[in-house]
C-alpha cells in the first residue's frame, strides 16, 4: 500500500522513527552537518551549500523542522535555521540505552 501502519506501534516508536527518518537522507545529513560546523545559519547559505534547487532544500528543511531536528527564527528578511540540540540528545540517549542493554546481555547468538 505504501501507507505505514502507524497506529500499530507506540507513540515513542513513532516519535523515534520520525526523527530517524528525517535524518535518513544524504541532503538532510548534509544540512545537519553544515549547521553543526557553521556559526551563522542563514537559510540562503544552506541553499548555496547544497547541490539542490532552492525549493528542494526548503522542503528538506521543512521535514527536519517537522521532526524537531532543527528550528528556525526570522532574522529580518532572512530565516535563521539551527539544530535543536535537545532532539539530537534524545536520539543520542536512545542509542546509548540500546547499547547499554546489549552489553548487559548474557547470550548473543549472532
Partner DNA sequence: ATTCTTTATCGTAATATTGCAATATAATAA
Partner DNA sequence: TTATTATATTGCAATATTACGATAAAGAAT
3-state class (DSSP) for residue 26: helix
**Using the rule CB under 7 A, which residue among 73, 76, 100, 110 binds DNA?**
76
The DSSP annotation for 49-107 comes to HSSS-HHHHHHHHHHHHHTTSEEEEEETTEEEEEE-HHHHHHHHHHHHHHHHHHHT-S-
Residue 32 engages DNA in binding (rule: CB under 7 A): no
Q: CB 108 → DNA: shortest distance, Å?
A: 17
Pick one of a copy of itself, DNA, none as the site partner of residue 13 (Cβ within 5 to 8 A by kind): a copy of itself
Q: Can you read off the three cell numbers belonging to residue 9? A: 506501534
**Using the rule CB under 8 A, which residue among 48, 54, 66, 95 binds a copy of itself?**
95
**Using the rule CB under 8 A, which residue among 43, 49, 52, 58 binds a copy of itself?**
52
Amino acid at each position: 500500500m505504501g501507507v505505514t501502519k502507524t497506529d500499530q506501534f507506540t507513540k515513542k516508536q513513532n516519535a523515534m522513527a520520525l526523527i530517524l527518518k528525517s535524518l535518513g537522507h544524504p541532503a538532510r545529513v548534509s544540512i545537519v552537518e553544515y549547521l553543526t560546523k557553521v556559526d551563522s545559519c542563514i537559510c540562503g547559505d544552506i541553499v548555496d551549500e547544497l547541490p539542490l534547487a532552492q525549493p528542494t532544500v526548503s522542503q528538506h528543511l521543512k521535514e527536519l523542522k517537522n521532526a524537531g531536528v532543527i528550528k528556525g527564527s526570522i532574522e529580518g528578511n532572512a530565516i535563521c535555521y539551527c539544530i535543536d540540540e535537545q532532539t539530537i540528545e534524545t536520539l543520542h540517549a536512545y542509542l546509548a540505552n540500546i547499547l547499554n542493554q546489549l552489553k548487559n546481555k548474557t547470550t548473543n547468538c549472532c
